Amino acid sequence: MSEKKCALICGISGQDGAYLARYLIGKGYTVYGTSRDAQMTSFHNLVRLGIREHIKLESAALNDFRSVLQVLMKAQPDEVYNLAGQSSVGLSFQQPVETLDSISVGTLNILEAIRFISKPIKFYNAGSSECFGDTGAPADESTPFRPRSPYAVAKSAAFWEVSNYREAYGMFACSGILFNHESPLRPERFVTKKIVAAVCRIASGSDEKLYLGNISIQRDWGWAPEYIEAMWLMMQQNTPDDFVIATGESHSLNEFVDVALSCVGLNWCDNVVIDKTLLRPTDLMVGHGNPAKAREKLGWQARYKMHDVVRLMMDAQLNADTLL
Ligand code: NDP
């Protein structure tokens, strides 16, 4: 019988960390997960998915090399998934240094710590479509980066760190360049969940309004639980490589709101207010991905598109017991 594989997920308390942990447990992995402070974190996403007790939780701050090395030595993983770091584009304008530190220095620390450990460890890095800036035509793996936020700058640096360590040291290290992916586990800081939560409260009788900034931006929105399958597939390849993960469809925020409102029979004019204070210093107008390489090499394709994503999020918000 083959030995049980072990995975370490950095940033396990977040949306992707929780779904990936559930997926790997289902595949028979031993799963370790890190949080900056595992004693204080509630891990409510892991509790919600019913897997909190099946994971070995450790504290590690990725910007602190010693703590990264310590957790790697303890877990001795076959695969490391780096999903940790400041993940909000909006917040990155207010905390640019923290953003760069947690993403770029954090990724570098994991890469260096893996070099310290004698066993071959595969490394997945959570890259971001924000690196492309405004895509115009659908972006693929050969599209140049034009980052337009501190978050995107930090993610671009991390991407090239991974690429450089792969080339320089022959490491199995890859980046998934993921476009936006949503789920009921998204916090309300993100506009998709903010919309879904507010629309559901209004439908239940609240007299609040939904305040939004730029609603003409377009994004390629997918379903998080299936995006983490792509991460795992990248790690099972014979040679490490980077992949764009997207649905291949782009829709405006305006359309997203429309679908959410129509799910509960509400209309725009009574419920939505455009608030100019919510505009970002710089924003991407269009995010649109071309996932052809993932389809061809990983056999991965998005089954859920924007309309499905909104309906699934609305369902989960309205019926707390819906399966996630
Ligand atoms: P989340 O924000 O849900 O989770 C990220 C985790 O990282 C948090 O749970 C937190 O864990 C840790 N973290 C947060 N802030 C910091 C910080 N300043 N320093 C160190 N650690 C921090 O993100 P997602 O699960 O949505 O995304 C996973 C990764 O994928 C992130 O790197 C994100 O940037 C990237 N990504 C996500 C996309 C999406 O659409 N969801 C699209 C493209 C990329 P704790 O508090 O327990 O330490």
CB 182 within 8 A of CB 222: yes
Q: What does the pLDDT read at residue 20?
A: 98
Q: Establish whether residue 58 lines the binding site of ligand 1, counting it when its CB lies within 6 angstroms of any ligand atom.
A: no
Taking CA atoms only, the protein residue closest to ligand 1 atom 3 is: 14
**How many angstroms separate the alpha carbon of residue 259 from the centre of ligand 1?**
27
Taking CA atoms only, the protein residue closest to ligand 1 atom 7 is: 84
Ligand 1 binding pocket mutation candidate from 63, 87, 101 (most atoms within 8 A of CB): 87
Number of other residues whose CB lies within 10 A of the CB of residue 270: 9
What gap in Å lies between CA 149 and CA 128, rounded to an integer? 12
Q: Establish whether residue 83 lines the binding site of ligand 1, counting it when its CB lies within 6 angstroms of any ligand atom.
A: yes
Helix, strand, or coil (residue 65): helix
Taking CA atoms only, the protein residue closest to ligand 1 atom 42 is: 180
Taking CA atoms only, the protein residue closest to ligand 1 atom 18 is: 86
Cα-Cα-Cα-Cα dihedral sign, residues 60, 25, 179, 210: negative
pTM above 0.75, yes or no: yes
CA distances from 128 to 4, 11, 151, 154, 252 (A): 30, 15, 9, 10, 19
Mean pLDDT by 10 residues, the chain (324 residues): 88 98 98 97 96 98 97 98 96 96 98 93 98 93 96 98 98 98 95 96 93 94 98 98 98 96 89 88 89 98 98 93 61
What gap in Å lies between CA 256 and CA 309, rounded to an integer? 9
Report all structural domains of the chain as residue ranges with CATH numbers, in order of start: 6-182+222-249+293-303 (3.40.50.720), 191-218+250-287+307-318 (3.90.25.10)
Half-sphere exposure of 6 (CA within 13 A, CB side): 15
- Assess whether 227 carries a catalytic annotation: no
**How many angstroms separate the alpha carbon of residue 169 from the centre of ligand 1?**
27
Q: What does the pLDDT read at residue 323?
A: 56
CB 47 within 8 A of CB 120: no
What gap in Å lies between CA 73 and CA 90, rounded to an integer? 35
CB 7 within 8 A of CB 29: yes
Q: Establish whether residue 11 lines the binding site of ligand 1, counting it when its CB lies within 6 angstroms of any ligand atom.
A: yes
Among candidate residues 128, 149, 156, 250, the one labeled active-site is 128
Q: Which atom of ligand 1 is nearest to the CA of 101?
A: 19
Q: Establish whether residue 138 lines the binding site of ligand 1, counting it when its CB lies within 6 angstroms of any ligand atom.
A: no
Q: Establish whether residue 85 lines the binding site of ligand 1, counting it when its CB lies within 6 angstroms of any ligand atom.
A: yes
Q: Establish whether residue 35 lines the binding site of ligand 1, counting it when its CB lies within 6 angstroms of any ligand atom.
A: yes
Q: Establish whether residue 102 lines the binding site of ligand 1, counting it when its CB lies within 6 angstroms of any ligand atom.
A: yes
Among candidate residues 29, 81, 151, 304, the one labeled active-site is 151
Q: Establish whether residue 251 lines the binding site of ligand 1, counting it when its CB lies within 6 angstroms of any ligand atom.
A: no
Q: Establish whether residue 109 lines the binding site of ligand 1, counting it when its CB lies within 6 angstroms of any ligand atom.
A: no
Token digits of residue 292: 């052809």
Q: Establish whether residue 84 lines the binding site of ligand 1, counting it when its CB lies within 6 angstroms of any ligand atom.
A: yes
What gap in Å lies between CA 1 and CA 9, rounded to an integer? 25
- Assess whether 151 carries a catalytic annotation: yes
**How many angstroms separate the alpha carbon of residue 26 from the centre of ligand 1?**
22
CB 87 within 8 A of CB 141: no
Q: What does the pLDDT read at residue 126?
A: 98
Q: What does the pLDDT read at residue 2?
A: 64
> Phi first, then psi: what are they for 78, rounded to 5°?
-85, -30
Among candidate residues 58, 79, 130, 182, the one labeled active-site is 130
Q: What does the pLDDT read at residue 276?
A: 87
Taking CA atoms only, the protein residue closest to ligand 1 atom 29 is: 83
**Beta-strand relationship, 122-128 and 210-212:** unpaired
